[in-house]
Amino acid sequence: VSEPRFAILGSGSKANAYIFEAEGQSFIIDNGFSALECLRRMHDLDFRPERVKFILLTHVHSDHIRGLARLSRKLSCPVYIHKELNPAPHTKVAFYKTGRLTPGEKISLDGVEIIPFDVYHDAPSPLGFTFRTGGLNFTLITDTGKLNEEMFKYAYHSNILLLESNYSPEMLDTGPYPEILRQRIRGDEGHLSNFDAGQFTDALLRKKAEIRRIYYCHLSENNNTPETAEREITSRFDGSVPFRICRRSEPVEGELS
Ligand SMILES: [Zn+2]
Ligand SMILES: [Zn+2]
């Protein structure tokens, strides 16, 4: 059994895409890049397009869906989405095929066991994902205004946690955004702050979660910097588990330990 591989092909408020591979098969979560840019990033990290079996979609904001349909057609891959989501208004091109997901219900796709779960975000039927591939558990939580017990449970049982750390409250308050947009970001259906991310991690590790490594991702273009994120996260979390702050748009090759 070969170890899984994964990469954050890019994250941030402009474009997000993730890839996970085990046993010569891979899948993608989201694609906010053009299909060609996503393929280029995969190529740079040696992920082969013919190995991709399916694509999962968290939600329809453009930083997650922009090049997703074209990618699904190029790769002849089905796209799995929330069962109540109508993707048509959000994509110019139809998906190659569409599969349906029910939050809280486990689904097995090409050997990957996935549980989609509800998140709190101002998009129709948004999802987070926890899954097991190549003998390891992963949880991805981004684009949510709040965290809950269910997310805690999934994160707790994960080896690798990919967690949003979108904004610095101070940078948001003093930054260029109009108040209405600030309220949206801060709100219960907005995004997680650096402190939210740090606190959640701290609570997990205090309870001796099995997490080996944490990736803080989806940093805001205007209301965060990697340095500020690191300072604010580690003001809540002691850094006792290796972690990485994903710079906006930078491809990051995952490490397993
Ligand atoms: Zn987003
Ligand atoms: Zn979003």
Q: Report yes or no: 159 and 138 within 8 Å, Cβ to Cβ.
A: yes
Share of the chain above pLDDT 90, in %: 95
Residue 2 has pLDDT above 80, yes or no: no
Sequence-distant (≥ 6) Cβ neighbours of residue 180 within 8 angstroms: none
Quickly state the pLDDT bin for 253 (edges 50, 70, 90).
very high
65: alpha, beta or left, given left = phi > 0 and alpha = psi -120 to 50? alpha
Model confidence pLDDT, tens digit, residues 234-244: 999 988 899 99
Q: How far is the CA of 120 from the centre of ligand 2 (A)?
A: 10
Q: Which residues of 165-179 are buried (b: 16+ CB within 10 A; e: fewer)?
A: bbbbbebbeeeebee
CA 116 to chain centre: 12
Residue 61 CA to ligand 2 center (angstroms) comes to 5
User: Across residues 102-131, what is the average pLDDT?
Assistant: 98
Whole-angstrom Cα distance, residue 151 to residue 43?
32
Q: Which of 7, 99, 106 is nearest to 54 (CA)?
A: 99
CA of 64 to the centre of ligand 1 (A): 6
Tell me the CA–centroid distance for residue 123 and ligand 2, in Å. Answer: 7
Q: Which residues contact 9 (CB under 8 A, 6 or more apart)?
A: 17, 18, 19, 33, 38, 41, 42, 45, 251
In the block, tokens 């569409």 appear at: 98
Section 37-61 average pLDDT: 98
Q: What distance in angstroms lies between residue 189's CA and the mean position of ligand 1's atoms?
A: 12
For residue 220, the CA-to-ligand 2 centroid distance in Å is 11
Tell me the ligand closest to 218's alpha carbon.
1
Spacing, Cα 22 to ligand 1 middle (Å): 26
Centre of ligand 2 to C-alpha 23, Å, is 31
Find the DSSP H helices in 6-144. 35-44, 62-65, 68-75
Mean pLDDT within 155-160: 98
For residue 166, the CA-to-ligand 1 centroid distance in Å is 9
CB 131 within 8 A of CB 112: yes
72-100: average pLDDT: 97
Task: Quote the pLDDT of residue 3.
Answer: 86
DSSP state of 234: H
pLDDT tens across 61-82, in order?
Answer: 999 999 999 999 999 999 999 9
Judged by its nearest atom, the ligand closest to the C-alpha of residue 13 is 1
189-229 pLDDT, tens digit per residue, is 999 999 999 999 999 999 998 999 999 999 999 999 999 99
Long-range contacts of 100-109 (CB under 8 A, 24+ apart): 101/56, 101/127, 103/127, 104/150, 107/80, 109/27, 109/53, 109/54, 109/80
Mean pLDDT, the chain, as a whole number?
96
181 falls in which pLDDT band (50, 70, 90)? Answer: very high
Q: Three-class SS of residue 214? A: strand
- Give the number of whichever ligand sits closest to the CA of residue 185: 2
> Rg for the chain (alpha carbons), in Å?
17
Residue 257: the pLDDT is 80
Q: What is the pLDDT of residue 1?
A: 60
**Residue 61: nearest ligand to its CA?**
2
Host H or E run for residue 233: helix 226-234
| pLDDT for res 125 | 98
Q: Cα(61) to centroid of ligand 1, in Å?
A: 6
Q: Give the tens place of pLDDT for each residue, 25-42.
A: 999 999 999 999 999 999
Distance 164 CA to ligand 2 centre (A): 11
Section 101-118 average pLDDT: 98
Q: Separation of 59 CA from ligand 1 center, angstroms?
A: 8
